[in-house]
Structure 1
Amino acid sequence: MNVVNESPRRKELTRLAAQLFVQEGFDRTTVRMLAHEMGIKSGSLFHHFRDKQEILAAVIEEGTQNALTIARRALGRCDTTPEARLHAMARAHLETLLTDRNAHVVALYEWRRLDPEARDHLSHLRDAYEALWEEVIDEALDAGLIHGDRFLVSRFVMGALNWTVRWYDPEGPRTPEELARELIAMLTSPVTLPSSASTMV
Structure 2
Amino acid sequence: MNVATDSPRRQQLTRIAARLFMQQGFDRTTVRMLADAMGIKSGSLFHHFADKQEILCAVIEDSTRHALFSARRALADAAPTTRARLLALARVHLDTLHDDRHAHGVALYEWRRLSDEDREHLTHLRDAYETLWLQVIEEARRAGQVQGDAAIITRYALGALNWTARWYDPDGPMDTAQLAHELVDMIVAPAS
Q: Please give the TM-score of this superposition, normalised by the length of structure 1.
A: 0.92
String of CA shifts for 1:92-133, please: whole Å, max 9, x gaps: 100110111111111111111100111111111111101101
Bigger radius of gyration among the two: 1
2:61 aligned partner: 61
Distance in 2 (CA, whole Å) between partners of 1:57 and 1:18 is 10
Superposition pairs of residues 35-50 of structure 1, within 5 angstroms: 35-50=35-50
Moved over 2 A (4+): none
Other structure's SS at 2:47 match: coil
2:77 aligned partner: 77
**Structure 2 unaligned regions, length at least 5:** none
2:181 aligned partner: 181
How many residues are aligned here?
A: 190
The Cα RMSD (Å) is: 1.0
1:9 aligned partner: 9
Distance in 2 (CA, whole Å) between partners of 1:153 and 1:143 is 15
CA drift of 1:137 comes to: 0.6
CA drift of 1:188 comes to: 1.9
AA of the residue aligned to 2:75: L
Distance in 2 (CA, whole Å) between partners of 1:119 and 1:185 is 34
Distance in 1 (CA, whole Å) between partners of 2:109 and 2:76 is 30
AA of the residue aligned to 1:31: V
Distance in 2 (CA, whole Å) between partners of 1:5 and 1:159 is 29
1:110 aligned partner: 110
Q: Please give the TM-score of this superposition, normalised by the length of structure 2.
A: 0.96
Give % identity. 64
**Structure 1 unaligned regions, length at least 5:** 191-201
